[in-house]
Structure formats: C-alpha cells, structure tokens
Structure 1
Amino acid sequence: MNASIQDTAADLVQVEHQDHATLVTLNRPQKMNALSASLVDALIAAVDDAHAHGSDLIVMRGAGRNFSAGFDFGGYEEQSEGDLLLRFVRIEQLLQKVATSPAVTLALAHGKNFGAGVDLFGACALRVAAPDATFRMPGLKFGLVLGTRRYAEIVGKQVARDVLTQTRTFGAEEAQLQGFVTELAGPADHDACIARALEAARALAAPVRAQLHQTLAPTTLDADLASLVRSAAEPGLKQRIRAYLGA
C-alpha cells in the first residue's frame, strides 16, 4: 500500500494518507498526548485534510503510553477564563467534526485516558481499546459539561449518571460491556482492526455512506455547544480548576 506522510503543526500530529484511509496520530507522548490548544487545532486541520482527500476511513490513535490524557492544564493560570473557554469550545468543535464525519471514524485507545481524550475516543464510530486501557471523565469536578450527552447516548442515561457522578475510572472490559468500547484489541492487532474498518467503510459508496451518516448525525450539536459554554462561562472557572488539580 502506497503511503505519504505529512507532519502537521510542528509534529504535534502525524498524518498518514493511505489508500482510502487517513491515520491521525496524536504525537505528544512526553505529555501523554494532552490536548493543548495547538494540538486541538492540528487535529481539526487533520480531519479537514482527511475529508479533502476523500478518505473513507479516519483513524485516531496516540503515540507513547496512551491515547490521550485530555485537556492540557499546563500554564492555565497564565490564561484568562475567556481563553480557557475558547479552548474548550475548540475541543467541542473537534468532537462534532469527528462525530459528523462522512468517513467511518476509528479510535484506537491504550493506557490511561482522561477527560476530553475520552470524549475524542467516544466521538468515533468504532472504538477499539487495548485490554490495559482505562477511562476517566472528571470534567464535572470543575463544573464542565463536555461530551456528556454523547457518552449517555452510547451507554444509556443510568450508566452515564453512575460513571459521571462518581467521576470514576473504568477499564476496557467494563467499557465494552457498556457499549462504549466496540472491540478489545491490543496494539499488535491494530493493523487488522484498521483493515476490517476500511473494508466496512467501503461496503457503501461514499455518497451513500455520507448520506447515512448525515441521517444518523446527532441533532443536538447546538445544544451541546450551548451546554458547554454555559458550564465553562460560570464565574470562577480557574478557581474550580485550581481546586480540582489540588484535590
């Protein structure tokens, strides 16, 4: 299979275009692929690039020890609450772009994953986790509503209420029982997972698949964004983050 590799945004994201597929690798292993503003912008650009190439499949994966540690809090004290709000909005825009993609989207998770990284995993249609993968969504600890409705639609309201209220960590096997993980497979099996996903993606003609995805797309995108903005815009965001990080 011929491939061309394009590094985007100072190598924060590695984009590999293969025949009919685009592989997107979060490449901040020294920071556990935490979502900095630059990384989020690079991921949005990578998804747009995949769409421009007409990819049938978009794969999201992480370099190093895990898929993603979620929101990067580094230097948050030097940022205004408005700047932080904008960063959360950009993450929601990324999640919506992935969730409504005309391509089939596949996430490959391993290691410890948190917050917005779990939301990115959940925004993909196919969600493969290594047996060692764990997930935790602590956003409500600092009053943030991000990805909540999407997670609840996948696992059901009661399960979502239990997990999100306790902000507890859950493993890959539990995630599969929830339906949040669609398949358990370690890194050694990822190439086979990608091949199966691409075969499934190409089972329908691209225009037909795009129409199907549009029909199935969530109708709550504006409401999700509004809920996020309301939660993040509550006065004292930095104080809530400070309390969460100090807990």
Structure 2
Amino acid sequence: MTSTAPVTAPAPADGGEPLVRVQHHGTVAVLQLNRPGKLNALSTALEQELIGSLRSPAVAGAAAIVFTGSARAFSAGADTSELPEMTPERIAAYYRGSGSLYETVARLPQPTVAAISGYCLGAGFELALACDIRIADETASFGLPEVGLGILPSSGGLTRLVRAAGPAIAKEIILFGERFTAAEAHRLGLVREVAPAGEALPVALERAAVLAGKPAMAVAWTKAAIDTAAESSASASLLIEQLAYAALNRPAGGGQ
C-alpha cells in the first residue's frame, strides 16, 4: 500500500480552511475540492486555488493527478452567487483568469483521473470531462443544467461532451438538463468504471498508479496526439503520430 503524505495547499485569502487539499499517494497527487458546505461549488477562488495547486512543484512533479471531492459531491457546479456580477467584460477576464482552469487540466502532460461521488453537475461535470479518465461510484449523479438558467456550458463541457458522446446525446443531455446516474454515464462511455458507493477514490488511485508507472514522455506525447486526432484531419493526425514517434525514439544526446 502506498504511503500518504499531506502537502500544504496555497492558503486561502481569508486564512480559513484551504479550498483545495493536496495529498500524495506515491507518485500520484490527489487534489480534493474542499467546500463541503457548498457542495464543492466552483467559485473563482476555488478555481484559482486549483490552478495554484497544479503549478506547485509538488503537483507539477507528480506522475499522475487525481481530482476528487467529498462523499456528497464531486462538485455541484459553478458558484451561482457570482453570476449576477457577470458582464461581457468580466466574463472575458474570467476566462483569462480562473476560468482557464478547465483548459489547464485538459492540457496537463500527466494522466488525470476524476474520482466522482455524489453530485457532478454543471462546471463540476465540465471539470470531470476535462480529465482523461473518470471513475464514478454508485452515488454519482451527472448533469448540465445551464440551459435552464438561460446560459450554456461554456468551460469546455459542451465541446468535450459532443466529442465524447456525439452531437445527438450531447443535445439531449444539455437541452433537457436532466440528471442521470453513474450507470447511464458508463453506458454512454462518459465514465470508465462504476465502483461501489464510497470506492471511487480508491479505484481511481489504483488506475492512476498504473498510469503513473508508464514512461512519462510517452504518456504526454500520446495524450497530445490523441487530442490532436480528435481535432484534425486524418493526414494531420498521422503526421503528429509520426513526429511524436520520432521524438520519443530520438537517441540520447540528440543528433541533427
């Protein structure tokens, strides 16, 4: 069994409990959202703390990263108390700031795993979709309710859901905004595995440890090549494959 060593997360501005708890299980870093009283709603402060944690040497040097929440909620979504303050100018600034979290997660070179229990809604679901692998337990509940609020998923969730499940399924999930179970998410290919209640994190750690044991550069290049394949023509994707293969097989010490 791997050892667990707590790592101090960036201190919140108000000096209270950190919004992100960081631990290490061997070479796997675990980032736990820590707003249990708000069902881990993703405020700008929480997003900023997650970005700060990802940039910390302890996490940046990890071989794999697991994101998790609490038993009641991975995250129930964005902190809606901040919505009335939004203007077009502030929204643009948001995506340049804490709103860059979701793309930051998606572009990490390390493999990422979301361990999901309870509510995984709105921005919380978008954060999970930005991860490479999703493990949910039987208590997990998914949904994108934004259209009912007069908006739409805008932190990459719409785009990633279309690519993961196809346009027809994405329209059903987003337009109806209804919640669905872990079993349904598994059927749609949105989660890799459904664990017994309370077991999402242990299973995610097992899967992350397997990924952490693989050559880091091969994992990073493969992730980038797969993401490129989803966005490119076949010829462009094949070229990236070949260039990545060549880069990974370059002899030590280089050469022209």
Q: TM-score, normalised by structure 2?
A: 0.77
For the structure 1 residues 2 and 144, does the alpha-carbon distance in structure 2 shift closer, same or farther, using more than 3 Å as the test? Answer: closer
| Preserved contact between residue 70 and residue 117 of structure 2 (Cα < 8 Å) | no
| Preserved contact between residue 28 and residue 208 of structure 2 (Cα < 8 Å) | no
| Residue matched to 1:213 | 223
Is 1:26 matched up with 2:33?
yes
For the structure 1 residues 196 and 78, does the alpha-carbon distance in structure 2 shift closer, same or farther, using more than 3 Å as the test? Answer: closer
| Residue matched to 1:111 | 118
| Residue matched to 1:95 | 102
Matches within 5 A, 1:158-237: 158-185=168-195, 186-188=197-199, 190-202=201-213, 204-218=214-228
| Residue matched to 2:61 | 54
Tell me the percent identity.
30
SS in 1 for 2:199: helix
For the structure 1 residues 214 and 188, does the alpha-carbon distance in structure 2 shift closer, same or farther, using more than 3 Å as the test? Answer: closer
Task: Return the offset for 1:94.
Answer: 1.3
Q: Structure 1 regions of 5+ residues with no counterpart?
A: 222-247
Is 1:154 matched up with 2:164?
yes
Task: Return the offset for 1:72.
Answer: 0.3
Could you say which structure has the larger radius of gyration?
A: 2
Task: Return the offset for 1:218.
Answer: 4.7
CA distance in 1, matches of 2:121, 2:59: 30
Task: Return the offset for 1:47.
Answer: 1.9
| Cα-Cα RMSD | 2.3
Q: Deviations over 1:42-99 (max 9, x none)?
A: 1111222268642111010013511101110115435545334533554652111111
CA distance in 1, matches of 2:174, 2:194: 22
| Residue matched to 1:7 | 9
| Preserved contact between residue 56 and residue 201 of structure 1 (Cα < 8 Å) | yes
Q: Structure 2 regions of 5+ residues with no counterpart?
A: 13-17, 232-256
For the structure 1 residues 27 and 200, does the alpha-carbon distance in structure 2 shift closer, same or farther, using more than 3 Å as the test? Answer: same
| Residue matched to 2:48 | 41
Equivalent position amino acid for 2:20 in 1: V
CA distance in 2, matches of 1:175, 1:130: 11
CA distance in 2, matches of 1:5, 1:152: 36
| Preserved contact between residue 120 and residue 143 of structure 2 (Cα < 8 Å) | yes
For the structure 1 residues 217 and 70, does the alpha-carbon distance in structure 2 shift closer, same or farther, using more than 3 Å as the test? Answer: same
For the structure 1 residues 178 and 50, does the alpha-carbon distance in structure 2 shift closer, same or farther, using more than 3 Å as the test? Answer: farther
Q: Deviations over 1:168-216 (max 9, x none)?
A: 11111100000011111132353243123211332x3111111111212
